[in-house]
Amino acid sequence: MTQTRKLILPPGDFQAYLFDCDGTIADSMPLHYVAWKRALGEWGCEFPEETFYAWGGRLVTDIIGSLNEEQGLQMPVEQVAARKEEYYYELLPQLQPVPEVVEHIEAQHGRIPFAVVSGSSRESVTESLRTLRLLDHFRTLVCAGDYRNGKPHPEAFLMAADRLGVAPEACLVFEDTEMGIKAATAAGMASVKVLQPWEGVASS
């Protein structure tokens, strides 16, 4: 059971909220890891849990490419990515929200615009948000395939701000990975770190 913790937001008059999805809005990282293990196991590929979390925020295709390189494998990137997504969709009925983040989504919904900025596919993000009944809360989704440079590059966050018509410095980013926080900072945006259960008390 997820323990509810309060997020302390940085000061500022923010005109838009930008959210990562996996591990930030949706407590989906454990489910994604199960899906990864199943898909990669079919190719004899190892993916330690520590590496999985350290690579949080990276594009799925980049992860498969790195694993191929590290382990001398030749996994077909698109095929493995699709297989991993299939396994994740099977696990979606188990998906739960991250309550301390959803609290802020509900509090500001209808007052300021929201966007999701994710390294996951649009289909994966859409299905996660639909499962949590939050899809209609977001004006735009910036997902894998929409941008060329993944986090920690700021491109995806800047694209989301542009779509919302809000200056980067007026956006607040919610992220659970250091890579995502670095991307937000590079975009000139304030951010709040959504801590994982083992990281202690959540703070900005």
Active site residues per annotation: 20
Burial tier of 108 (Cβ tally within 10 Å: 0-12, 13-18, 19+): middle
Per this entry, what is the length of the chain?
204
- Could you give the residue ranges of the DSSP H alpha helices within 75-166? 77-91, 99-108, 122-131, 155-164
Sign of CA dihedral 105, 107, 110, 111: negative
Contact status, residue 144 vs residue 119, Cβ threshold 8 Å: yes
Give yes or no for a contact between 7 and 175, defined as CB atoms under 8 angstroms apart.
Answer: no
User: What is the distance of C-alpha 197 from the center of its chain?
Assistant: 16
First to last CA, the chain: 23
**Omega cis (within 30) before 48:** no
Whole-number Å distance between alpha carbons of 110 and 130: 18
